[in-house]
């Protein structure tokens, strides 16, 4: 018997899939009210190509049996709220905290379905905004350097001269400096290697705005790492807003507005220092499981096997 026939035989006759009570609606929603705990995470994940599902997990299960509270097709707040509403309200009111990303639909779902819970915006999504703002500035400077290099090369050809780009102190050209500085900008300066430190000094000499932007990114990170009191965190976040406004960097002001729109749930992080890492970890488990099965050919069957392990 070949592998495909064996797999089909197992699915149809041995696995118990066809006797599974939730099989008819599994592709649309799965609920496990018995797995609700006081601390939940909510996130979205792709099961197959762009087929997004909203997944609610119980943190106390620590990624093991009992982790899955709900798996619902799509990310529409209306749809997810409708299905989560099938869980008894008495159980949903026992939830004390829900961690989530900055998506408006996830916040609406959490507020409607778990009315007694404190909502906590994941710190890493907040920090990611600042990092992306910094990297966008670096990329913009790199495009300028590429454009300048192209114009200089064209001019050299027109005048019959050989083109030799300017090399900086560490041997980089401006284009290379900006490309090779990507990773050092993710790290705190005390984590830089000696070569990264040299590159950073040159980078900040020629592009002082990047140094200012880097300091803004590290300042936001420092609020999370060095603050324990919610009131102090709020004050430090306000000072970060002021620093961003003074910088007049468009990308950072966009990030600041997004953060300001979620500040109440961002500040809730300092109550228990809760993150959405458990949801991200569970997403990684799903991806690994999907890879083991070489993709998702039959979503209900995939969910049947997944929930047998984690629900």
Choose the final residue of a domain: 257, 272, 287: 272
Is residue 263 one of the residues assigned to a domain?
yes
Asked if 142 and 265 sit in the same domain, the reply is: yes
pLDDT tops 70 at residue 245: yes
Asked if 56 and 143 sit in the same domain, the reply is: no
Q: Which of 72, 62, 64 is nearest to 42 (CA)?
A: 72
Asked if 143 and 97 sit in the same domain, the reply is: no
Asked if 75 and 143 sit in the same domain, the reply is: no
Beta 51-58 vs 118-121: how paired, if at all? unpaired
Asked if 145 and 163 sit in the same domain, the reply is: yes
Asked if 152 and 255 sit in the same domain, the reply is: yes
Q: How far is CA 17 from the centre of its chain?
A: 33
Asked if 58 and 137 sit in the same domain, the reply is: no
Phi, psi of 145 (to 5 degrees): -65, -40
Number of domains making up the chain: 2
Residues 256, 244: contact at Cβ < 8 Å? yes
Predicted local confidence at residue 211, as pLDDT: 98
156 pLDDT tier (thresholds 50, 70, 90) = confident
CATH of the domain at 87: 3.30.420.10
pLDDT tops 60 at residue 9: no
Asked if 129 and 62 sit in the same domain, the reply is: no
Asked if 93 and 149 sit in the same domain, the reply is: no
> For the chain, how many residues are written?
311
- Higher pLDDT: 301 or 181? It is 181
Is residue 1 one of the residues assigned to a domain?
no
Q: Which of 304, 303, 298, 306 is nearest to 8 (CA)?
A: 298
pLDDT tops 60 at residue 2: no
CB atoms within 10 A of CB 293: 15
Is residue 6 one of the residues assigned to a domain?
no
Predicted local confidence at residue 164, as pLDDT: 87
Asked if 102 and 203 sit in the same domain, the reply is: no
Is residue 2 one of the residues assigned to a domain?
no
Predicted local confidence at residue 302, as pLDDT: 86
Asked if 137 and 265 sit in the same domain, the reply is: yes
Indicate the average pLDDT of the chain: 92
Q: Give the residues across from 71 on adjacent strands.
A: 30, 55
Query: What is the mean pLDDT of the segment spanning 114-133?
Result: 97
Q: Which of 20, 70, 12, 4 is nearest to 40 (CA)?
A: 70
Threshold 0.85, pTM exceeds: yes
Residue 74: domain span? 18-121+275-310
Predicted local confidence at residue 225, as pLDDT: 95
Which segments of 49-147 are extended strands (E)? 51-58, 68-73, 97-100, 118-121
Asked if 113 and 136 sit in the same domain, the reply is: no
Is residue 81 one of the residues assigned to a domain?
yes
Is residue 49 one of the residues assigned to a domain?
yes
Calpha distance 160→256 (Å, rounded): 49
Calpha distance 43→283 (Å, rounded): 9
- Higher pLDDT: 34 or 308? It is 34
Is residue 13 one of the residues assigned to a domain?
no
Is residue 51 one of the residues assigned to a domain?
yes
């Amino acid at each position: 018997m070949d592998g495909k026939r064996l797999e089909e035989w197992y699915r149809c006759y041995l696995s118990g899939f066809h006797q599974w009570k939730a099989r008819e609606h599994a592709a649309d929603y799965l609920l496990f009210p018995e797995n609700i705990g006081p601390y939940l995470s909510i996130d979205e994940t792709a099961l197959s190509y762009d087929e997004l599902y909203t997944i609610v997990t119980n943190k106390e299960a620590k990624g093991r049996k009992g982790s899955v509270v709900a798996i619902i097709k799509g990310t529409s707040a209306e749809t997810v709220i409708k299905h989560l509403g099938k869980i008894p309200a008495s159980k949903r009111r026992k939830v004390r905290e829900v961690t989530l990303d900055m998506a408006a639909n996830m916040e609406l779902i959490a507020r409607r379905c778990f009315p007694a819970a404190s909502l906590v915006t994941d710190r890493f999504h907040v920090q990611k905004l600042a990092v992306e703002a910094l990297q966008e500035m670096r990329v913009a400077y790199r495009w300028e350097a590429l454009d300048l290099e192209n114009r200089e090369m064209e001019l050299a050809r027109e005048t019959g001269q050989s083109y030799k780009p300017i090399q900086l102190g560490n041997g980089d050209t401006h284009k290379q400096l900006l490309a090779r500085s990507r990773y050092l900008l993710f790290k705190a300066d005390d984590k830089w290697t000696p070569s990264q430190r040299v590159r950073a000094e040159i980078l900040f000499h020629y592009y002082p705005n990047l140094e200012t932007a880097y300091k803004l990114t590290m300042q936001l990170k420092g609020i999370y790492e060095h603050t324990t009191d919610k009131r102090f965190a709020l004050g430090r976040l306000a000072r970060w807003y002021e620093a961003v406004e003074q910088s007049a960097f468009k990308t950072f002001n966009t990030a600041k507005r997004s953060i300001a729109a979620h500040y109440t749930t961002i500040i809730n992080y300092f109550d228990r220092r809760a993150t959405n890492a458990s949801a991200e970890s569970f997403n990684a488990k799903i991806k690994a499981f999907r890879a083991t099965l070489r993709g998702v050919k039959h979503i209900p069957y995939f969910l049947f096997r997944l929930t047998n392990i984690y629900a």
